[in-house]
Homo-oligomer: A and B are copies of this chain.
Amino acid sequence: MSEPHNRLRLVRAGIDTYQQPVVYMHRDCHVCRSEGFTALTRVLARSGDREVIATLNVVVDDHLALNVAALSEAAWQVLKPDPDAWATFSHAEPPASAAALRAKVFGQRLDDTDFLALMQDAVANRLSDIELTAFVTACAGDRLDNDETIALTKAMLAVGERIEWGGGPVLDKHCVGGLPGNRTTPIVVAIIAAAGHRIPKTSSRAITSPAGTADAMEVMAPVALDIDAMRRVVEREGGCIVWGGNVRLSPADDLLIRIEHPLDFDSDGQLVASVLSKKAAAGSTHALIDIPVGPTAKVRSAAAAASLEARLLVTAQALGLHLTVMRTDGAQPVGYGIGPALEARDVLSVLRNEAEAPRDLRNRALDIAGALLDAVPGAEPGKGRAQAHMLLDSGAALAKFLAICEAQGGFTEPKPAPHLRPVLANRTGRIERIDNRRLARIAKLAGAPGSAAAGIDCRVRIGNSVRSGEPLFQIHAQTPGELEYAFGYATAHPDVFEIGAAG
């Protein structure tokens, strides 16, 4: 049926609604009237042989003509209309997975078929943000058991691409975030690739943090490679560090994360499905998960870490993925810098074996690389760390890192920020605790990650003694306004560093 009464010409609204397709129609247009559409109606738009389900926003003034429908960027990308193309509009039927969603919300267990239907509808944009949120919430806490976690992981894997690397081990690592500055990835990838192994690493940009690995890496080399370019880099150098957003290895995960982050939900089931679906999609055979544990890290207790570890291991086994889990100290930042360029500087400092390189970052990178080398089939157990050490000290890891940067498009030295200001201790004593979350917030107020050079340079550590008036950290910013903004917040929250009695 293509009744003229439900047709409108398509125009581009030029509005980015972050993945959710939105269609804008005038309240008085003949389609709204004949179809009974009102604001937030789920509308099926068909143009040529393409279709998209979009949420309706109703235009009430004369910015939009009566005979057109405007599409948000997400809707435009799906329909890809020709100039002057028309679309027909109708009420969207409930998605096929609506019954499964409802069952989960009402506390029932779902099986493989249910999760597959849900993930298929998700990546086909047939679920509204409201429906995705209901799914995420219904799976939060302990509402996914192990079997459901495995089913969800497999479903997320099934609806995306999966890279095949041919035979042989493919290594990978991942850190369950929450620790500012913990930028081990570029160092680990350089060591593993220098050892002759394959490690095709995709990383995320910051979502709520001052820098993701992709942001820090982008200071030194291009990271927005597509899947073919990534494959060429890995075939040439053994490793890469690219932004996962362009590779889209787990598109279902990208959609769910977009809902989970503003809610700050970090349930084990969803975290495991998110991490392991991406590893498996990347074609990994041997992966290491770093879980920093600390009072202001993402995982806050040993019990929480143990529960997460168990869930990771059982799910990895079901996927045929060899997994090593490493729990690390998450009490304070790692390295000196927090922010893309400052973290990149630390990475280079470690790779260059500079005397002032942050030892905590260096040691963590060696621990992780060593454990990964131990996990490779045929490796002599316990020799991995010594091998990693040798590859780093010899300059082989640095050479490999620079070669990877070249293969990704060329190396660039990080540039410092033009505006600096220290934040001073307001008493003399010993550093007892550091609030990672507040520290990250200051770095963000200073402009990170939007301004790559912005962030924090912090050299004091728990156990260090400081004197009143000595600097606790430096704020780096691109503009004086941002510098003052971050400084204002830092001075209003002197408890970011808890300073005990003078030691």
- Identity of the chain B residue whose Cβ is nearest the Cβ of A64 in the assembled complex: B14
Bitwise interface map of A from 33 to 44 toward B, beta carbon under 8 Å scored 1, else 0: 110101110100
Q: Decide if A142 is an interface residue (CB 8 Å cutoff).
A: yes
Q: Which of A17, A62, A267 has the most B CB atoms < 10 Å from its CB?
A: A17
Q: Cβ of B59 and Cβ of A14 under 8 Å apart?
A: yes
| Stretch of A225-233, A258-266, A367-375 lying at the B interface | A258-266
- Identity of the chain B residue whose Cβ is nearest the Cβ of A264 in the assembled complex: B102
Q: Decide if A140 is an interface residue (CB 8 Å cutoff).
A: yes
Q: Which residues of B contact A1 (CB under 8 A)?
A: 488
Number of copies: 2
Q: Decide if A413 is an interface residue (CB 8 Å cutoff).
A: no
- Complex partner residue of A128 from B59, B140, B262, B479, CB under 8 angstroms: B262
Q: Cβ of A16 and Cβ of B58 under 8 Å apart?
A: yes
Q: Which residues of B contact A479 (CB under 8 A)?
A: 5, 34
Q: Decide if A419 is an interface residue (CB 8 Å cutoff).
A: no
| Stretch of A131-139, A144-152, A291-299, A377-385 lying at the B interface | A131-139
Q: Decide if A303 is an interface residue (CB 8 Å cutoff).
A: no
- Identity of the chain B residue whose Cβ is nearest the Cβ of A140 in the assembled complex: B105
Q: Cβ of A61 and Cβ of B105 under 8 Å apart?
A: no
Q: How far is B60's CA from A479's CA once the two chains are assembled, in angstroms?
A: 24
Q: Which residues of B contact A133 (CB under 8 A)?
A: 129-130, 133-134, 137
Bitwise interface map of A from 355 to 371 toward B, beta carbon under 8 Å scored 1, else 0: 00000000000000000
Q: Decide if A15 is an interface residue (CB 8 Å cutoff).
A: yes
CB neighbors of B among A471-487 (8 A): 479, 481-482, 485
Q: Cβ of A33 and Cβ of B140 under 8 Å apart?
A: no
Q: Decide if A322 is an interface residue (CB 8 Å cutoff).
A: no
